[in-house]
Structure formats: structure tokens, C-alpha cells
């Protein structure tokens, strides 16, 4: 099927939210994207890049702060009735039967009486849930629930099917099975669905489903790159062409997730430390030690360790900031310092981490704040400071990272009861003021 | 294709024969209708200065039904109020900012103090009928029932997962449909549980509401509360016992026939789908109803009636559909324009401020009449009652905390005792006050100390309930860990049960103190066996001012009590609650 005329179009869309703490979060900045008839478009990118926000804008569930969203050239006014949506968390009403859940969207579209019963039966039949009409959602497995989600969307015979990580909450086996059924549904002209927009976390899923893959970057969310995927349907996941496509997408994502280090001209720039745990970084180093030459591509590492790729890249960024790995291209390479630190005992490892963290610009700044105020600062003050420097990152998550790493390295401590950060600079001081 | 609308059970047409269950339901329906009619006639009856209360036991069922009807009517109004109030507060930020503090204050001030004004106002509206008095009584019960319902509805609206809302919007549901099919069902569990609490709270002031004296005027309504107060006046012990028995029977019946089935039924509307939450609760009444065929017939009739109504309104549908956008366009345009919106908000704010100022001015006019001695009297009474309230909270905690932990940690005990405690706790404590005081007098304890015991009666259950449910909710693994490391009993209480119960204990304290404050109005000023007993305190000051129609002092007493309760809630309980949650909350 060749793409036809433009169905949905986002023009220079910017979306901002106000967080409960008053911080303003820019989820999307000047994003333009057109979806054409007969297309399958996948939106991929790290979490927090605004891809789900864009999907909600397409559905008409929220209005952009700036710019416009158009359907067939007309600006959207309220919810787009030509679209149906499938949710990651299924979003089924637990007190309605499967049949009643599937019928949810029909009444508003003027389908009543026998026509409604027919539409419900057909949609249930399409997703293979015959016999479960009178079941309640809590009696179904995750995969079956999502089938109900698909049936609900298909029942209204939408022009556009919007899917927000539809397989994200399912086990891999079920996800794979449902994924190929979605392709079949799309290719089957009788369903009426001819355009799909899917938000996904999985590179394989994007390559399997989409004819066009849009890669988002984060902070604030923006379109990094678009990639067209001409592989013929049905796609074979083990074919060389498929793997080439996956590798290409990996390379683009790596460039997004692991940008090359900033040029040396701006060494004083504050770099946010990613929200990763100490054990995750040591886990990564441990794993790299077991590999030949201590290196491997980031996506392979993610797969081996069973985490998703943007989590993996956050861990890699953390390790990189501490100087324990380097990232030429999409390869993660253990450094000599990284090997050394893994050979140390616990105390020596803490000492090294302390030395390295003290030089990390963000930690250095917090430590300087602490020294200026005689070793103790209120949480509020640090949070305010972080908000100024990193307006697009939730400050409390950064703060938690600082506390966790600071505690591990015995640089600082946090008194939750008093809501204060305290300095523990020298190791002697650290052992004295540590609670018994 | 299978029919989707009805469960297959309905398909066979052989549902003609009436079962025993259907006869019972018909009888119940008839009884309910008869009660409502009799009650309505009572509404119309010309106002007799004093309703004669018949102390014969045969009259008691009638009185009980009258009281029950008032409670049920008030509960119905409370539910309507809660739905409107909670919805407004959850939907509009402006409304939220205004309504939530209002709710917080309304639920903590002694509403009983407003009874005289309410009675007099409504009486002058309906001078020749009992209607004013009835309305006042129902409104007073309403004020004891409505607030927690509204708060519960608001909370469940706020915690509704976003995807569910989005799903309804994508499906094109209108706001009204989303309300009845998403928002109300999601709140159903909270509404039913809180309805149970509300009903119990509504009985608290039953005696005062139904038999109420203002100056030398005696306002009385036929009901179980006035029956009890007449029995007390005459010192008729057997009538007192009968009234208490009737009250217990009524509470048990309402529990078994109304709340149990509802509680089991709303299990269906649970939002969290996690397994293990499957409740073991059962209700013989619900099973009975499910066996009966009549409700199913009723469903069929209801559907037919709905279709007929739809058909009847069809001619109006088109003009209505054409008219609505026109009607709605004006306000919508006005609300979308930032300038008109600002102006409207300003006008609204000004109106609220004006009403508040007018009220403040009226209050000031009243308070300005108070002399120096009266002000001193207010201060010392307030201090005395405050001490009694705190003593009551401490005493309630002293028995309810250990008892709650013991009951809560044994699921078997909790299951066995929960219904019993629920019934006992629903019993309006003020009905027992005179009897308790007579007993105290026999052993030589005066009302000054005795009032504390009465206030314990009024507040203790909240603490017990909260502790039981908190201890019952301790994760099994924590208990296993305590057992595996062989923690000695004392350490087990100190490190596990008490900290885990603490946040709930604080919540219990807030409500128990509220109950004690309210209770002080009837506990410090008691008529029993024909003589009046008074001890100094804010509660007796309010009661006394009511009895002598001393409105400035009444206003002063209510104002002082409201300020103390709200201030204490804001300054002490709230910070204690926040601390308890962060320090001892089990959610990590």
C-alpha cells in the first residue's frame, strides 16, 4: 500500500506542562510531523521524549500550547472521532463485560441496536475473543485484555488507529503474537483501519510494524530523524534485511542517547548525572569484564542484561561520566580505570568513586554549596538550585541521584527528618557522623 | 450470534411463577411505601406545640420507622450533595480552592450549635405545619452525614487513572455518561463504606434533633429519639430499655438489609485488578435477592420503560439537539474568552467575599453584646472542655490501641468481631449518656469527671476501627519476618505493630477528638430522671445558651469551639499526620 494524502499533521507543535512543584516542563518543542493515509508510523525515542504526548495531541485529548494539529487540513476541535486508541495499561472499565467495553465507542458514533451488536460481535471475532463476550476484564490475562483493547478500537472502524506502547505491558511471547496480528488487521481491507501510529520502546517492534520510523530526542522532545522502512510485509524478524534495518535504527538511537562528549571548550558546563543506581553501574562493568576486550554494542548489552535500551544508555552515560567506560559510536568500551575499579575491594572502590564524583561538575557544585554553608544545606535550597540549572529535568529525581551516590561515596548524607543535606568530606569525619 | 444485552440466564421465558423471595420483597416494598405515606401525612399535620409521645411499646415500631425515614432521607440528600460537591471540586481548580477548605471546616465545627437558628428559620417558613421542624431535623442529620461522603467522592475522582478517562473521551462519551459509567462506579466502594459511617454519625444527635428545647418552647417530633427523652423525663426504665432495644434492632436490620448487600455488591466496582483482593465477605440478603426473580423482571420493565420514554421524547429530540448548541454557545464563548473569564472570576470572588463579610459583620454584632464577665466565662469554659477532650482522647487510646492491635493481627478475630463492633459503634452514644450518669452518681462521680467518660463513648470507636484496619493491613511478610527472627512480644509491638498502626491512629485521633467536641454539647448538660445536671464547659455553655435563647452567648460559644477545633486540626493534627505518614507509612 502506498501512502496517500496527509491525514493528520502536527505543525510546529510545542507542549508545556506545569509540574506539581511549579516547575514548567517542556515536553515537545516545535515538532512537525505528517501522517499519511495507508501509512504505519512508529514513534521511538528515550522515555520522556514526548512521543506519547504527541500521540495524545493527535487523538485530540489535549491541545498544544503552541502550533496546531490538523486532520485532513482542518484544525482539531476536541477529540478526533476518526481515530481510536489502544492504551498500554489497557484502560478497560472493570465493571463492564468484554462486550460492553468493546461497545464503548459505538453509541457516540450513532451505532445502536442490532447494528451495534453486529459491530461488537465482528470486532470480538477479529481479535479472536469469541466466547468471552460476558467475561469481566479481571477474569482475563494481560494479552486477552489487550485484545479487548484492540477490539474496542476496531469496533468503531477508525480511519486511524493510535497505539501507545500497546505491547509494553505484555510478556514477550504474547506481544509477538499480537504484533503480527496487528499487521494482519492493518493489511486486511475489511477492518477499515488503514493508518496506524504506534508509540513504542522496542526497536524490533518499530522495524516489524512501521513503514516510517520517527526518532525523537529528549529535553525537550523534538524529532531527531525520520527513517523509511521499505521492507515488504509480512516481515521476517530473522532475515538479514530486517537485521540491517534494526542496526541502522540502533545507530541513530545511539547517537540520540549517547551523544559524543561536549567539546573541551566548555569544561565548566554542568552535566546532569543520569538517574541510575550504584549497583547498575557496577553491574554493567561486571558484565563488560566477562566480554572479550571488555566491550560491546549498547543494544546487545541491553538485551544480555534484560533492560530496555534507554535504561541501558542511562547506565552507560553514568559510567562514562565517572570515566569507567568510553563510547566510540554505539560501542561501550571498558577503560583501564574501569578495570582497576572492579579489581578493588569495597573501601578502595568507594574512595575512587569519591575522588571521581568530587570532580563531576554537578556534584562539585552541590559540594561547594555545602562548604559555603558550613556543611549543611536545606533540601529546598538544593532543589531550587537544580531547577535553575536544569529546568527540563524534574529536580527531585536529580536530587535523589545526588543523595544516593553521595551516600555511597561517603561524600554527603541526607537527614530525611530534618530535610537537610550534610557534608561528610573526610573519611574520618564520615565514620564519626554516620548513624550507629 | 449471542444476545449481548442480557445474561443468558434471562433467556428462558418460564419466569412467571412467583417465589417466596418475591413475596418478601413485595411486602418490604409495601411497608416502605406505607411508611413514606404515613411520614408525609405527619409532614402535613398542623403544628401542635408539643407532640404527645406515646410510651406504650406498641407505638415504638412506628416511631422507629419515623426516625429511620428521616435518616434515610437525609442520607439520600447527602449522596446528591456529595456527587455535586465532589464533582465540582475535582473538575474546577477555582472550585477546588474554595470548596476543600470549606469542607474541612464544615466537618470539624459543631453543627449542633446551628440547630436553634435552623429550627426558628424553618418554622417561620412553615408556620402552621410540622414541616419546618421535620426539615430542620433532616438537615441536622444531613450535616452529620454529608462531608465525608463528599470528600470520598472527590478523592476517588482525583485518583482515577488518566488512561481510563482518555478511553472514555476517545469513545466519544458525553460528560454525563462518563459521570455515571466511569466516575460514579469507580467511587462506589468509597461511597458505600462512607455511607455506612455517615448513617451511624447521623444517629448521634437523634435525641436532640427530635426533642429540642429553645427557651420555654418545646419542639418535638415523633421518633425514637423523642421517645427516649420522654422516657428519661418520666424515669420509665422499661421504656428506656425498650427504646435502646428498638435502636439496636433498627441498626442491625439496616446493616443486614442495606449495607451488607451493598458492600458485597460494590466489590464489582473495584478498580485495582490485583488478585488476592478477592473479598470473603458475603451477604445472605444479596444471595437472596440474586435468587429472586423479581429484580430481573424489574430490569426488563425498566428497559421497556426506558424505550417507551425514548419513543415519547423523540419528537422533542430534534429541536433540543438544535437548541443546545445555541444555549451552550453563549456561556462557552464567554468562558473561552480570557477577559470575560477574568471578569467572571473577579465577580465570583467579590460575591464570595461580600457574603463572608456580611456574615462576619452579623457575627460581630452578636458578639459585641457580650460583656466582660461573659467573655471570661467563655475562655474558662473553653479551657475546661479542651482538657476534657484531650483526656477523652488519651483514655480512648489507652484501651482502643491495644484492643485494636490484638483484634487486627488475628484475621479470625477481626472477621468475627468486625460486624459486632460495627453495630455497637453505630449506636448513638448520647442515648446512653443519662443512664451512664445515673450509674456514676450512684458511685459518687460527678458530671465534671463523668463528662469525660461520655466523651470517650462518643469518640473511641474511630480509634478502634482505624487501628484494626491498619494492623490488619500489615504485609504478611513483615509479620513472618518478625516471627522468623523470634522478636520477643514487647519488641514486636514496639518495632512492628505500634509504628504500623501509628498513621491510622493519628487519623483516628482527629475524628475521635471531633466526636468528643461534638459530644461535649450533650455530655456536659444532661437531663436525666427529671433533674438537670450541668458542669462548666464550652458544651454546657452552648446548651445552656440554647435553652435560654441567649443568642450572643450561643454565637460566641460556637465561634470559640469552631476556631479551637479548626485551629487544632490545622496546627497539631495535620503536622502530626504528615510526620506519621512520612516516618511510618508502609508505602515505600
Residue A382's domain is classified under what CATH number?
1.10.10
Q: Tell me which of A343, A368, A398 is where a domain ends.
A: A343
**Residue B92 counted as domain residue:** yes
Looking at the structure, tell me whether residues B343 and B399 fall in a common domain: no
**Residue A282 counted as domain residue:** yes
Amino acid B336: pLDDT: 67
User: How many domains are there within chain A?
Assistant: 3
Strands (E), B243-373: none
Nearest to A147 by CA among A119, A118, A165, A167: A167
Grid cell digits, residue A176: 509477538
Cβ neighbors of A95 (< 8 A, separation 6 or more) are A136, B185, B268, B269
The pLDDT > 70 percentage for chain A reads: 94
Mean pLDDT of all residues in B13-24: 49
Using CB atoms within 10 Å of the CB of residue B198, give its burial: 0 to 12 exposed, 13 to 18 middle, 19+ buried. buried
SS3 per-residue string spanning A53-77:
HHHHHHHCCCCCCEEEEEECCEECC
Looking at the structure, tell me whether residues A329 and A198 fall in a common domain: no
Grid cell digits, residue B557: 460559644
User: How many domains are there within chain B?
Assistant: 3
B582 touches chain A (CB under 8 A): yes
C-alpha separations of B362 from B353, B357, B552 in Å: 14, 9, 11
Nearest to A253 by CA among A49, A87, A56: A49
Chain A positions in Cβ-Cβ contact with residue B277 (cut-off 8 Å): none
Using CB atoms within 10 Å of the CB of residue A361, give its burial: 0 to 12 exposed, 13 to 18 middle, 19+ buried. middle
Contact B515, B197 (CB under 8 A): no
d(CA B464, CA B462): 6
Residue ranges of chain A whose CB lies within 8 Å of a chain B CB: 56, 59, 61, 79, 81, 83-85, 87-96, 99-100, 103-105, 107-109, 117-118, 120-121, 133-134, 137-138, 152, 156, 416-417
First to last CA, chain A: 69
Looking at the structure, tell me whether residues B345 and B376 fall in a common domain: no
d(CA A273, CA A363): 9
Mean pLDDT of all residues in A259-266: 52
Contact A10, A55 (CB under 8 A): no
Looking at the structure, tell me whether residues A162 and A240 fall in a common domain: yes
- Tens digits of residue pLDDT in A77-110: 888 888 999 998 888 988 889 999 999 888 888 8
Q: In Å, how far is B92's CA from the nearest CA of chain A?
A: 16
Amino acid A212: pLDDT: 92
- Tens digits of residue pLDDT in B470-498: 888 888 888 888 888 888 888 888 888 88
Contact B470, B503 (CB under 8 A): yes
**Residue B1 counted as domain residue:** no
* 3-state class (DSSP) for residue A188: coil
Contact B64, B250 (CB under 8 A): yes
Q: Tell me which of A343, A366, A393 is where a domain ends.
A: A343
What ranges in B427-548 are assigned the alpha helix state H?
Answer: 433-442, 447-472, 476-484, 489-492, 498-523, 538-547
Looking at the structure, tell me whether residues A335 and A385 fall in a common domain: no
d(CA B580, CA B575): 8
**Residue A417 counted as domain residue:** yes
Looking at the structure, tell me whether residues B483 and B340 fall in a common domain: no
Contact B561, B113 (CB under 8 A): yes
Nearest to A187 by CA among A31, A62, A38: A38
Chain A positions in Cβ-Cβ contact with residue B582 (cut-off 8 Å): 416
- Nearest CB to B170; choose among A84, A89, A96: A84
Looking at the structure, tell me whether residues A328 and A362 fall in a common domain: no
Looking at the structure, tell me whether residues A192 and A131 fall in a common domain: yes
**Residue A269 counted as domain residue:** no
**Residue B109 counted as domain residue:** yes
Residue A178's domain is classified under what CATH number?
3.40.50.300
In the stretch 127-186 of chain B, residues with CB closer than 8 A to chain A read: 161, 163-164, 166-174, 181-182, 185
Looking at the structure, tell me whether residues B535 and B546 fall in a common domain: yes
Higher-confidence residue of A308 and A319: namely A319
Number of Cβ atoms within 10 Å of the Cβ of B324: 10
Looking at the structure, tell me whether residues B305 and B341 fall in a common domain: no
Q: How do beta strands A412-415 and A420-423 pair?
A: antiparallel
Looking at the structure, tell me whether residues A29 and A124 fall in a common domain: yes
- Nearest CB to A85; choose among B161, B170, B185: B170
Looking at the structure, tell me whether residues A326 and A362 fall in a common domain: no
The reply to whether residue A103 touches residue B170, judged by beta carbons under 8 angstroms, is no
d(CA B467, CA B509): 11
Looking at the structure, tell me whether residues B348 and B287 fall in a common domain: no
Residue ranges making up the domain that contains B342: 326-368
**Residue B304 counted as domain residue:** yes
B7 touches chain A (CB under 8 A): yes
The reply to whether residue B582 touches residue A416, judged by beta carbons under 8 angstroms, is yes
The pLDDT > 70 percentage for chain B reads: 82
Looking at the structure, tell me whether residues A217 and A312 fall in a common domain: no
Residue B121's domain is classified under what CATH number?
1.10.3720.10
- Tens digits of residue pLDDT in B357-397: 877 787 787 778 778 888 888 999 999 999 999 999 999 99
> Which of the four pLDDT bands, split at 50, 70 and 90, describes residue A132?
very high
Mean pLDDT of all residues in B457-474: 85
Looking at the structure, tell me whether residues B399 and B299 fall in a common domain: no
Grid cell digits, residue B163: 488512561
Looking at the structure, tell me whether residues A68 and A150 fall in a common domain: yes
Looking at the structure, tell me whether residues B122 and B139 fall in a common domain: yes
**Residue A350 counted as domain residue:** no
- Mutation for testing the B interface, residue in A55, A56, A58, A85 having most B CBs under 10 Å: A85
Looking at the structure, tell me whether residues A85 and A115 fall in a common domain: yes
| Residue B2 predicted with pLDDT over 50 | no
Q: In Å, how far is B97's CA from the nearest CA of chain A?
A: 15
| pLDDT, chain B, mean | 79
Q: Tell me which of A256, A288, A313 is where a domain ends.
A: A256
**Residue B8 counted as domain residue:** no
Looking at the structure, tell me whether residues B338 and B399 fall in a common domain: no
The reply to whether residue B273 touches residue A138, judged by beta carbons under 8 angstroms, is yes
Looking at the structure, tell me whether residues A212 and A332 fall in a common domain: no
Q: In Å, how far is B272's CA from the nearest CA of chain A?
A: 9
> Which of the four pLDDT bands, split at 50, 70 and 90, describes residue A261?
low
| Residue A125 predicted with pLDDT over 50 | yes
Amino acid A431: pLDDT: 41
**Residue A263 counted as domain residue:** no
Looking at the structure, tell me whether residues A183 and A287 fall in a common domain: no
Residue ranges making up the domain that contains A288: 278-343
Nearest residue in chain A measured CA to CA from B265: A95
Q: Answer yes or no: is the ipTM higher than 0.90.
A: no
Q: What is the DSSP string of A317-367?
A: HHHHHTTSEE-STTEEEE-HHHHHHHHS-HHHHHHHHHHHHHHSHHHHHHH
**Residue B2 counted as domain residue:** no
Looking at the structure, tell me whether residues B61 and B203 fall in a common domain: yes
**Residue A291 counted as domain residue:** yes
**Residue B540 counted as domain residue:** yes
Q: In Å, how far is A418's CA from the nearest CA of chain B?
A: 11
Mean pLDDT of all residues in A365-373: 88
**Residue A88 counted as domain residue:** yes
Higher-confidence residue of B138 and A432: namely B138
Looking at the structure, tell me whether residues B135 and B65 fall in a common domain: yes
d(CA B376, CA B391): 23
Chain B positions in Cβ-Cβ contact with residue A53 (cut-off 8 Å): none
Grid cell digits, residue A321: 561520566
In the stretch 243-272 of chain B, residues with CB closer than 8 A to chain A read: 268-271
Angle at Cα A213 formed by Cα A209 and Cα A219, nearest 5°? 130
Phi, psi for residue B74 in degrees, rounded to 5:
-60, -40
DSSP B214: E
d(CA B63, CA B220): 12
The reply to whether residue A104 touches residue B168, judged by beta carbons under 8 angstroms, is yes
The reply to whether residue A120 touches residue B172, judged by beta carbons under 8 angstroms, is no
Looking at the structure, tell me whether residues B402 and B352 fall in a common domain: no
Chain A positions in Cβ-Cβ contact with residue B580 (cut-off 8 Å): none
Residue with cell 467579590: B350
**Residue B188 counted as domain residue:** yes
Pick from B109-123, B273-287, B311-325, B421-435: least confident = B273-287
**Residue A262 counted as domain residue:** no
The pLDDT > 90 percentage for chain B reads: 12
> Which of the four pLDDT bands, split at 50, 70 and 90, describes residue B167?
very high
Contact B247, B202 (CB under 8 A): no
Amino acid at each position: 500500500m502506498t501512502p496517500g494524502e496527509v491525514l493528520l499533521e502536527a505543525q510546529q507543535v510545542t507542549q508545556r506542562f506545569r509540574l506539581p512543584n511549579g516547575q514548567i516542563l517542556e515536553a515537545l518543542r516545535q515538532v512537525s510531523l505528517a501522517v499519511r493515509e495507508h501509512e504505519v508510523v512508529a514513534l521511538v525515542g528515550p522515555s520522556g521524549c514526548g512521543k506519547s504526548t504527541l500521540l495524545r495531541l493527535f487523538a485530540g485529548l489535549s491541545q498544544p500550547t503552541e502550533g496546531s494539529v490538523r486532520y485532513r487540513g482542518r484544525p482539531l476541535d476536541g477529540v478526533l472521532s476518526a481515530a481510536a486508541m489502544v492504551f498500554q495499561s489497557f484502560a478497560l472499565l472493570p465493571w463492564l463485560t468484554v462486550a460492553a467495553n468493546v461497545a464503548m465507542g459505538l453509541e457516540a458514533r450513532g451505532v445502536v441496536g442490532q447494528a451495534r451488536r453486529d459491530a461488537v460481535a465482528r470486532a470480538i471475532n477479529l481479535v479472536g475473543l469469541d466466547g468471552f463476550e460476558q467475561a469481566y476484564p479481571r477474569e482475563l490475562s494481560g494479552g486477552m485484555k489487550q485484545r479487548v483493547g484492540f477490539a474496542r478500537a476496531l469496533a468503531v472502524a477508525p480511519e486511524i488507529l493510535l497505539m501507545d506502547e500497546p505491547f509494553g505491558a505484555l510478556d514477550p511471547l504474547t506481544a509477538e503474537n499480537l504484533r503480527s496480528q496487528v499487521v494482519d488487521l492493518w493489511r486486511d481491507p475489511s477492518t477499515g483501519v488503514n493508518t496506524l501510529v504506534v508509540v513504542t520502546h522496542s526497536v524490533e517492534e518499530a522495524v516489524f510494524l512501521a513503514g516510517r520510523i520517527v526518532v525523537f530526542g529528549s529535553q525537550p522532545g523534538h524529532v531527531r530523524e525520520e527513517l523509511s522502512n521499505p521492507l515488504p510485509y509480512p516481515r521476517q524478524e530473522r532475515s538479514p534485511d530486517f537485521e540491517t534495518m534494526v542496526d541502522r535504527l540502533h545507530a541513530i538511537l545511539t547517537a540520540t542517547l549517547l551523544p559524543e562528549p561536549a567539546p573541551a571548550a566548555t569544561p565548566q558546563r554542568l552535566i546532569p548525572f543520569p538517574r541510575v543506581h550504584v549497583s547498575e553501574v557496577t553491574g554493567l562493568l561486571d558484565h563488560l569484564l566477562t566480554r572479550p576486550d571488555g566491550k560491546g554494542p549498547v543494544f546487545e548489552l541491553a538485551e544480555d542484561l534484560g533492560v530496555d535500551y534507554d535504561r541501558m544508555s542511562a547506565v552507560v552515560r553514568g559510567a562514562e561520566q565517572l570515566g569507567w567506560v568510553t563510547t566510540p559510536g554505539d560501542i561501550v568500551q571498558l577503560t583501564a580505570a574501569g578495570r582497576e575499579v572492579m579489581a578493588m575491594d569495597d573501601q578502595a572502590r568507594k574512595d575512587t568513586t569519591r575522588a571521581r564524583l568530587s570532580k563531576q561538575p554537578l556534584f562539585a557544585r552541590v559540594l561547594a554549596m555545602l562548604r559555603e554553608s558550613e556543611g549543611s544545606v536545606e533540601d529546598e535550597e538544593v532543589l531550587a538550585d537544580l531547577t535553575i540549572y536544569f529546568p527540563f529535568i524534574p529536580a527531585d529525581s536529580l536530587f535523589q541521584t545526588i543523595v544516593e551516590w553521595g551516600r555511597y561515596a561517603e561524600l554527603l548524607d541526607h537527614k530525611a527528618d530534618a530535610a537537610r543535606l550534610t557534608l561528610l568530606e573526610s573519611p574520618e569525619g564520615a565514620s564519626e557522623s554516620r548513624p550507629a | 450470534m449471542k444476545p449481548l444485552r442480557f445474561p443468558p440466564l434471562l433467556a428462558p421465558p418460564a419466569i412467571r411463577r412467583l417465589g417466596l423471595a418475591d413475596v418478601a420483597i413485595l411486602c418490604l416494598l409495601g411497608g416502605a411505601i406505607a411508611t413514606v405515606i404515613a411520614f408525609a401525612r405527619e409532614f402535613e399535620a398542623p403544628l401542635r406545640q408539643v407532640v404527645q409521645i406515646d410510651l406504650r411499646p406498641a407505638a415504638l415500631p412506628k416511631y422507629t420507622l419515623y426516625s429511620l425515614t428521616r435518616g434515610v432521607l437525609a442520607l439520600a440528600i447527602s449522596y446528591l450533595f456529595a456527587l455535586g460537591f465532589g464533582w465540582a471540586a475535582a473538575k474546577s481548580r477555582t472550585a477546588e480552592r474554595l470548596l476543600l477548605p470549606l469542607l474541612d471546616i464544615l466537618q470539624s465545627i459543631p453543627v449542633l450549635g446551628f440547630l436553634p437558628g435552623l429550627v426558628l428559620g424553618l418554622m417561620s417558613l412553615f408556620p402552621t405545619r410540622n414541616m419546618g421542624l421535620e426539615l430542620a431535623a433532616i438537615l441536622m442529620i444531613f450535616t452529620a452525614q454529608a462531608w465525608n461522603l463528599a470528600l470520598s467522592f472527590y478523592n476517588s475522582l482525583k485518583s482515577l487513572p488518566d488512561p481510563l478517562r482518555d478511553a472514555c473521551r476517545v469513545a466519544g462519551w458525553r460528560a454525563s455518561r462518563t459521570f455515571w459509567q466511569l466516575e460514579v462506579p469507580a467511587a462506589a466502594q468509597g461511597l458505600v463504606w462512607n455511607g455506612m459511617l455517615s448513617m451511624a454519625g447521623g444517629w448521634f444527635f437523634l435525641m436532640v434533633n427530635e426533642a429540642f428545647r429553645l427557651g420555654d418552647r418545646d419542639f418535638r417530633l415523633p421518633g425514637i429519639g423523642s421517645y427516649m427523652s420522654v422516657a428519661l423525663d418520666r424515669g420509665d426504665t422499661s421504656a428506656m430499655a425498650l427504646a435502646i432495644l428498638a435502636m439496636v434492632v433498627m441498626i442491625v436490620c439496616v446493616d443486614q438489609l442495606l449495607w451488607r448487600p451493598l458492600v458485597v455488591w460494590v466489590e464489582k466496582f473495584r478498580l485495582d485488578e490485583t488478585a488476592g483482593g478477592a473479598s470473603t465477605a458475603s451477604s445472605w440478603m444479596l444471595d437472596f435477592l440474586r435468587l429472586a426473580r423479581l429484580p430481573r423482571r424489574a430490569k426488563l420493565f425498566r428497559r421497556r420503560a426506558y424505550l417507551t420514554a425514548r419513543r415519547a421524547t423523540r419528537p422533542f429530540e430534534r429541536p433540543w439537539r438544535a437548541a443546545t448548541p445555541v444555549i451552550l454557545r453563549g456561556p462557552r464563548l464567554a468562558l473561552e474568552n480570557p477577559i470575560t473569564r477574568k471578569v467572571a472570576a473577579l465577580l465570583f470572588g467579590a460575591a464570595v467575599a461580600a457574603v463572608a463579610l456580611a456574615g462576619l459583620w452579623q457575627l460581630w454584632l452578636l458578639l459585641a453584646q457580650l460583656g466582660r464577665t461573659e467573655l471570661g466565662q467563655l475562655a474558662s469554659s473553653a479551657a475546661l472542655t479542651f482538657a476534657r477532650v484531650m483526656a477523652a482522647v488519651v483514655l480512648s487510646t489507652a484501651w482502643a490501641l491495644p484492643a485494636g492491635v490484638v483484634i487486627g493481627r488475628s484475621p479470625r478475630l477481626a472477621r468475627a468481631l468486625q460486624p459486632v463492633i460495627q453495630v455497637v459503634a453505630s449506636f448513638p452514644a448520647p442515648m446512653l449518656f443519662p443512664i451512664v450518669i445515673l450509674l456514676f452518681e450512684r458511685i459518687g462521680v460527678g458530671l465534671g469527671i463523668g463528662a469525660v467518660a461520655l466523651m470517650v463513648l462518643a469518640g473511641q470507636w474511630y480509634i478502634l476501627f482505624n487501628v484494626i484496619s491498619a494492623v490488619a493491613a500489615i504485609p504478611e511478610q513483615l509479620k513472618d519476618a518478625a516471627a522468623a527472627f523470634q522478636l520477643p512480644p514487647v519488641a514486636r509491638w514496639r518495632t512492628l505493630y505500634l509504628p504500623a498502626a501509628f498513621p491510622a491512629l493519628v487519623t483516628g485521633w482527629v475524628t475521635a477528638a471531633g466526636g468528643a467536641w461534638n459530644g461535649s454539647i450533650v455530655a456536659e448538660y444532661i437531663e436525666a430522671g427529671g433533674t438537670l445536671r450541668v458542669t462548666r464547659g464550652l458544651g454546657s455553655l452552648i446548651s445552656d445558651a440554647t435553652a435560654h435563647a441567649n443568642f450572643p452567648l450561643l454565637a460566641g460559644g460556637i465561634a470559640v469551639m469552631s476556631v479551637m477545633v479548626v485551629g487544632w486540626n490545622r496546627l497539631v493534627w495535620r503536622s502530626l499526620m504528615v510526620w506519621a505518614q512520612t516516618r511510618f507509612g508502609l508505602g515505600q
